[in-house]
Chain A
Amino acid sequence: MTVLFNKFKENFFAVGPIVLIVLILHFTISPISTPLLVKFIIGSVFVVLGLSIFLMGIDIGITPLGHLIGQALAKSNKLLLVIVAGLVLGFFVSIAEPGLLVLANQVDEVTSGTISSVVILVVVSVGLAVMVALGFIRIFYNVPLYKILFVLYLLIFGIAIFTSPEFLAVAFDASGATTGILAVPFILSLSVGISALKKDSKASEKDSFGLVAIASTGAILSVMLLNIISNTTEFSVGLGSAESEATSVFGAFLAIAPGTLTEGILALLPLLVAFLVLQLLWFKLDKKASKKILKGFLYAFLGLILFFLGVNAGFMEVGIILGRQLASMESSVFVIVVGFVIGFVTIAAEPAVYVLTYQIEDVTSRYVRRKSVLIALTIGVGLAVALSVVRILVPAIQLWHYLLPGYIIAIALSFIVPKLFVGIAFDAGGVATGPMTATFILAYTQGVADTFEGASLLVDGFGMISMVALFPIITLEILGLLYKVKSRKSEVDIKCQ
């Protein structure tokens, strides 16, 4: 039974700090109404349960499927097949991503229907699909990741000059939204599966990471191109308040249950279909192995629903309330410090983070430890949230004032950091922006933007996700530098001479 217990324990310690912080704030500077607090605590229990079950499902269902497909593609040795598979898988994984749907609806609303949500869904998914295919080609032709990223980000910043500032934020947020709860584990395991067959073990290790990073640039590029082509310049600030006024505790959970259910089904369906089709035509796994993967899908589905219920019903409102209350305080120190702390503790509960950190340990035989990656990630996200809050409070600071130097640092570092860490770092950028960030942290910053005079919800509320995607890249590259310096062989003089 200890095995089962350990799985829950690990997630309990990931979510625990968030609850602790909210409770401390509740009893000190920012009291929350009792029903809300009860909802939050029930929500966090749901999150712990949901995370544990979902991650079990990832372990025995989604990750093995990604490895199988990756290896099958690599063995087939046909470039055309690889490209087509990249396009198809990328498109369907992206279009089913719950986070992207939310973003697409927001864009629809903000542009008053000029760009409909369907258009943005399709455009972003196509962008992502093209980039997944490109990422596959990169692995096959051994093109170094940092060169590809250099070119891609150069392109992004070139196009960014012609993009309106509102859309810039949306574009970078889209990259975070597509690399969400299911896409990341699947894309990660795909690239590990493909690279595992390389003869050169060093290259195989490096190439295990980086596909998420390349894929997420596809979303940025496609949204920016969409803006230029459609030439949208008028925006209405009409973001509805995300706060529900349901007073009964269970009513809140029941109210969002149907939506969550469809989200869960939509997200898992493409992968399930892919598995069933490939199982019939290609893998032909024995009954036991295929049953195990199907059970994995079931776990992933159940876990996903519990997790979303907990996050949406319990966490969002608390985030908004905290942001509002702290922003209305006289001293702005608190709202910034709490921003840092929230970013710091929340990221450990992000499902994809768990998947990435274990994947790193697997690929490097635990040379790179989960713990060190987590430390770098939490510091990065904490800084990102704190700086986002500063940006809301100081109207003179614009998003690109952070993003441009940030990405220049990230790209410059990628030339000197060990190449394994370049892949890990840029992947972590996409991984950090999962459902936890998109709900709890986003709600906090939007609460701040909503209350603080002179802050525009559209320009300042968006863009936080792009910060969360950027800062872990830099902190993880710094971690890579530390590893590089530290793991040089010490020239110990040999005693036996």
Chain B
Amino acid sequence: MSMIPDIKRFELICVIVNYGLGSKVLKIAKQEGISGGTVLLGKGTVKNRLLEILEINDIRKEVVLLVTDCALVDAALKSLDREVQFRKPYHGIAFTIPVGAFLGNGDYNYKSHFIDGGKKENMYQSLFIIVDKGKGEDVMSAATSAGARGGTIINARGSGIHETSKLFNMEIEPEKELVMILAENALIDSIVSEVSTAMEIDKPGNGILFLLNVNKIMGLR
């Protein structure tokens, strides 16, 4: 791997499926070459008069986040569709969001100029850091020391290429924490470098970090 290609583009694939299917989605994604993913538990509602009256219109959902090289996205979505059948009603949804920068897979370098993109209106970026359970607070303290105002920690589970083990033919996906931080463009670089050195994100197996562009923002002062 002597020649590092010019910056790869990444996308975030977001899949929302019924409870219990998250691990299957993750497995298919891995077969398609995506290095890992994170699953969050969610709740969805069904539009149905009777169920609403009975107050049982809440259903459990799983949200799968997969950050991947743009080149893999189409193939991955196709084979996911084959299994999950998004076309049919109540079978789930999937969408992708372009990722500004991605760090933590061992071989990608953070290029800050990529995210600025020259556009003035994007004053904010949202930073996502996925680390092992219990390390979310460390991420937060590193981020605040670099100027971040606050953040949100969400419980999740997931696995990368370094964590594949089975128990009775069942994949074990270790617990993770997803930390979401909103920050101004001017601060992002220092937050990213502070967090990635504190968590040693550049070493494999220590978590990943990626940025999404933010269009509008409210409530942040």
Q: Are the C-beta atoms of B161 and A492 separated by less than 8 Å?
A: yes
Asked whether A56 lies within 8 Å of B177 as measured between CB atoms, the reply is no
Query: In this assembly, does A365 line the interface, its C-beta being within 8 Å of a C-beta of chain B?
Result: yes
A244 at interface, CB cutoff 8 A: no
- Residues in A461-497 with C-beta less than 8 Å from chain B: 482-483, 486-492, 494-497
CB of B98 within 8 Å of the partner chain: no
- Asked, given contacts A201-B133, A201-B177, A365-B39, whether A490 binds B164 with beta carbons under 8 Å apart, the answer is yes
A108 interfacial by beta-carbon distance below 8 Å:
no
Bound complex: CA A295 to CA B163 (Å)? 43
Partner of A375, one of B50, B56, B165, B168: B168
**A1 with B162, Cβ < 8 A, contacts A366-B39, A372-B168, A494-B106 known:** no
B134 pairs with A489, CB closer than 8 A: no
Name the residue of chain A whose CB is nearest to the CB of B1.
A496
Tell me the complex Cα distance, A27–B25, Å: 44
Kindly provide the distance from the CB of A260 to the nearest chain B CB, expressed in whole angstroms: 23
Q: Quick one: which of B48, B58, B106, B204 has the most chain A CB within 10 A?
A: B204
| Interface check A141, CB cutoff 8 A | no
Take A201-B136, A362-B41, A496-B106 as given contacts and tell me if A487 and B1 are in contact as well, using a CB distance cutoff of 8 Å.
no
B144 within 8 Å of A by Cβ?
no
Our pick among A3, A362, A482, A488 for the contact of B167 (Cβ within 8 Å) is A482
Q: How long is the Cα–Cα vector from A375 to B205 in the complex, in angstroms?
A: 30
User: Interface digits, A51-79 against B, CB 8 Å rule (1 contact, 0 not)?
Assistant: 00000100110000000000000000000
Interface size grouping (class) on chain B: 35 or more
Shortest C-beta distance, B175 to chain A (Å), equals: 4
Q: What CA separation (Å) do A3 and B43 show in the bound complex?
A: 13
Q: Cα distance A488–B41 when bound, in Å?
A: 23
State whether the Cβ of B174 lies closer than 8 Å to any Cβ in chain A: yes
Contact code string B49-65 (vs A, CB < 8 Å = 1, else 0): 01100111111001000
Kindly identify which residue among B41, B50, B153, B162 contacts A489, using a CB–CB cutoff of 8 Å.
B162
**C-alpha gap A56/B57 in the complex (Å):** 11
Tell me the complex Cα distance, A488–B167, Å.
Answer: 12
In contact, A487 and B134 (Cβ under 8 angstroms): no
CB distance from B154 to the nearest CB of A (A): 9
Q: Whole-angstrom distance between the alpha carbons of A419 and B57 in the complex?
A: 35
| Residues of A in contact, count (CB < 8 Å) | 40
Interface: B151 (CB within 8 A): no
A60-B56, A201-B153, A494-B106 as given contacts; A3 in contact with B173, CB under 8 Å: no
Please tell me which one of the listed residues B40, B56, B155, B161 contacts residue A201 in the complex, with CB atoms under 8 A apart. Answer: B155
**Residue B172, interface by CB 8 Å:** yes
Q: Which A residues lie within 8 Å of B106 (CB)?
A: 494, 496
Chain B residues, Cβ within 8 Å of A487: 163, 165, 172, 174
In the bound complex, residues from chain A placing their C-beta under 8 Å from that of B168 are 372, 375
Identify B55's interface contact among A60, A369, A494, CB under 8 A: A60
Q: Is A202 an interface residue (CB 8 A)?
A: yes
Q: Do B170 and A365 touch (CB < 8 A)?
A: no
- Give which listed residue, A60, A296, A490, A491, contacts B165 with CB less than 8 A: A490
CB < 8 Å neighbour of A3 from B59, B153, B156, B170: B59
Cα distance, A497 to B106, chains bound together (Å): 9
Contact with B along A234-273 (1 / 0, CB 8 A): 0000000000000000000000000000000000000000
**Smallest CB-CB separation from A482: which chain B residue?**
B167
Cβ-defined contact, B170 with A371, below 8 A: yes
CB–CB A1/B163 < 8 A: no
B184 interface residue (CB < 8 Å to A): no
Residues of A within 8 A of B59 (CB): 3
> Most chain-B CB neighbours within 10 Å: which of A362, A483, A489?
A489
Which among B54, B55, B136 has the greatest number of chain A C-beta atoms within 10 A? B55
Q: Does A7 contact B (CB under 8 A)?
A: yes
A59 to B155, CA, bound (A): 20
* Interface residue A287 (Cβ < 8 Å from any Cβ of B): no
CB <8 Å contact, A366 and B22 = yes
B83 at the interface (CB under 8 A from A): no
Query: Cβ of B164: which chain A residues have Cβ within 8 Å of it?
Result: 490
A295 touches B155 (CB 8 A): no
Q: Which of A367, A369, A492 contacts B174 (CB 8 A)?
A: A367
The CA-CA distance from A136 to B57 in the complex, in Å, is 33
The reply to whether A486 and B41 form a contact with Cβ atoms under 8 Å apart is: no
Q: State whether A486 touches B55 (Cβ < 8 A).
A: no
Residues of B within 8 A of A202 (CB): 133-134
List, in ascending order, chain A residues with CB within 8 A of B120's CB: none
**CB-CB under 8 A for A3 and B172, given A60-B56, A365-B40, A490-B162:** no
Alpha-carbon distance between A364 and B41 when the two chains are bound, in angstroms? 10
Q: Are A3 and B1 in contact, CB atoms less than 8 angstroms apart? A: no
Q: Mark A1-29, 1 if CB is under 8 A from B, else 0.
A: 11110010000000000000000000000
24 A-B contacts, Cβ less than 8 Å apart? A3-B46, A3-B56, A4-B56, A7-B56, A59-B56, A201-B137, A201-B153, A202-B133, A295-B54, A362-B41, A364-B175, A365-B155, A365-B157, A367-B175, A372-B170, A375-B168, A486-B167, A486-B172, A489-B205, A490-B163, A492-B162, A495-B1, A496-B106, A496-B107
| Other contacts beyond A200-B137, A497-B1: 19, CB < 8 A | A3-B46, A3-B56, A56-B56, A60-B58, A202-B134, A295-B54, A296-B55, A364-B157, A365-B157, A366-B39, A366-B41, A367-B175, A372-B168, A486-B172, A487-B172, A489-B205, A494-B204, A495-B1, A496-B107
Which residues in B have some Cβ–Cβ distance to A below 8 Å?
A: 1, 22-23, 39-41, 46, 48, 50-51, 54-59, 62, 90, 106-107, 133-134, 136-137, 153, 155-157, 161-168, 170, 172-177, 204-205
Chain A residues at the B interface, C-beta cutoff of 8 Å: 1-4, 7, 56, 59-60, 199-202, 205, 291-292, 295-296, 361-362, 364-367, 369, 371-372, 375, 482-483, 486-492, 494-497
Q: Which 8 A/B pairs are nearest by Cβ-Cβ distance?
A: A496-B107, A202-B134, A365-B157, A367-B175, A486-B165, A367-B157, A365-B155, A295-B55
